[in-house]
Amino acid sequence: MSTGYFEFWARTRVHCAVGATVRLPALLAGLGAKRVLLLSDQGLAKIGMVEKVAAVLRDAAAGNQFVLAGVYTDILPDAGSNSVNAATAYARSVGADAIVALGGGSAMDVAKGVKFALAHGLTDICEAVAAGMRIEPEGKPTGIAHISIPTTAGTGSEVTNGAVIFNDNTGVKALLFAPYLDSDIALLDAQLTVGLPPAITADTGMDALTHAVEAIVCPVSNPFTNGFCFSAVDHIFRALPECVKNGRNVQAREEMLQAACMATWALGNAVGAAPVHNCSHALGALYHIPHGRANGVLLPVVMEEFIEFYLPYAADLAKAFAVPLTTPEATVRAVIARIKQLQQDTGMPTHFGEFKIPPGDMERIVMAIASDPLAAMYQIPPAKIGAIVQRVIG
């Protein structure tokens, strides 16, 4: 029987407002930053967003508070270990003592990998994640000022002390958890998300919803994590369809940023069995399916095919999704119906047909899911894996 004991880690300060990016210099100065590294990706560089943020930093640097020591934008999707290592080498070359991560989950997770490597004297992050998962129960501040600015509303990586890093040597998405890996400050500026295309808006929003669900259906969920999840689900169902339909609605965009932040904060504090992420990490690593798309397609399918896993949490799911609490199975099926309706309302596909997964890969896929690092927390029965994969490969 549970003693009711739990710990809730919430170190990151959140600043949320449309246009809040203008506060970035003052926030960095408050953290004692001297030599700032801006980390992002080529996509944001091409649309001018990186330069926009860099200009804000350069203008402030004129006041001798700090200098913009460098801008690094060669981060590839999936937050690969090669990207982490190259960015770490660049950070050392410019003497960076502060990091600003601008982008989606990949940029923010690479920034965490860089911070970990700098703090531990590593040149290859694979040394830390060679086993597929590394969890450090104790730690101390790194001395590296760290601000994250998400440009998508999905991963919530801006507030967690965990990172998903694709090990380019093994082809496995590895997990890294450590105290103080999280940002000192998360800056949520909805203005930076208004240009996100509808499909990516839907993908990232469904990612946030998956985080909320997997934090609810967890043996170590608690009133804090559930409170964040219930609020996140409410925000997502109200705001995500509007964001997909009218991307320039900054109020809806801001709601989604808040929802993503809350859902992932909850998940980071209720780490346990995560069957949807178990499947999405493995399939994403094999076929380079964007993480949000993978979770969005898999969420209702995993819940249907593995419904017995969700039945003990029917009452909490009913509260989160505002469905009547009847029998456990009827309640969970009502939740699944709401998720499927949200898929339809946001144009989310129901399978991975576009990725042309060969039907002959079934054995390889089942093995990848069964051996994914998250499977160490809970093994999905092989028959269930097969049923799930059969439905989603398209």
| Reported pTM | 0.93
Determine contact, residues 216/320, Cβ cutoff 8 Å.
yes
Please state the rounded mean pLDDT for residues 300-320. 98
pLDDT score of 118: 97
CATH of the domain at 284: 1.20.1090.10
Domain for residue 77, yes or no?
Answer: yes
Strand-pairing partners, residue 281, are none
**pLDDT at res. 203:** 97
Which range, of 130-139, 173-182, 325-334, averages the lowest pLDDT? 130-139
Last residue of a domain, one of 193, 212, 227: 193
pLDDT confidence of residue 183: 97
Identify the bridge partners of residue 185 per DSSP, sorted by sequence position.
13, 147
- Using the predicted structure, report yes or no on whether residue 57 has a pLDDT greater than 90: yes
Number of folded domains in the chain? Answer: 2
Please report which helix (H) or strand (E) contains residue 35, including its range.
strand 35-41
145 plus 233 within the same structural domain: no
Angle of the 328-346 helix axis to the 198-216 helix axis, nearest 10? 160
Look at residue 174 and give its three-state secondary structure: strand
Name, in order, each residue with C-beta under 8 angstroms of 387's C-beta and a sequence gap of 6 or more: 305
Dump strand ranges (E) for the chain: 13-16, 35-41, 67-75, 98-103, 133-135, 145-150, 162-167, 172-177, 185-188
Does 226 lie in the same domain as 178? no
Assess whether 186 and 218 both reside in one domain. Answer: no
Confidence tier at 394 by pLDDT (50, 70, 90): confident
CA proximity to 100, closest of 163, 190, 35: 35
What is the number of H-type helices and E-type strands within the chain? 16, 9
- Check residue 136 and give its pLDDT: 87
Give the pLDDT confidence of 245-259 residue by residue, as tens digits. 999 999 999 999 999
What tens digit of pLDDT does each residue of 68-126 get? 999 999 998 888 999 999 999 999 999 999 999 999 999 999 999 999 999 999 999 99
Same domain, 185 and 235: no
φ, ψ of residue 117 in degrees (nearest 5): -65, -45
140 belongs to a structural domain? yes
Can you give the residue range of the structural domain that contains 242?
198-392
Per-residue pLDDT of 285-309, as tens digits, reads 999 999 999 999 999 999 999 999 9
Q: What is the pLDDT of residues 15-25, one digit of tens each?
A: 999 999 999 99
Q: What is the pLDDT of residues 195-210, one digit of tens each?
A: 999 999 999 999 999 9
Q: Go through the chain and tell me how many residues it has.
A: 394
Mean residue pLDDT across the chain: 94
Question: 27: closest CA among 9, 37, 13, 17?
Answer: 13
Please report the pLDDT score of residue 63 as a whole number: 66
Compute the average pLDDT of residues 145-159. Answer: 96
Give the model's pLDDT for residue 61. 65
The pLDDT of residue 149 is above 90: yes
CB atoms within 10 A of CB 223: 10
The verdict on residue 6 lying in a domain is no
Tell me how far apart the alpha carbons of residues 145 and 122 are, in angstroms, rounded to a whole number: 18
For tokens 């456990």, the residue is: 328
CA quadruple 81, 85, 86, 88: dihedral positive or negative?
A: positive
Report which of residues 135 and 267 the model is more confident about. 267
Is residue 249 situated within a structural domain?
Answer: yes
Strand partners, 188: 16
The predicted pLDDT at position 139 comes to 86
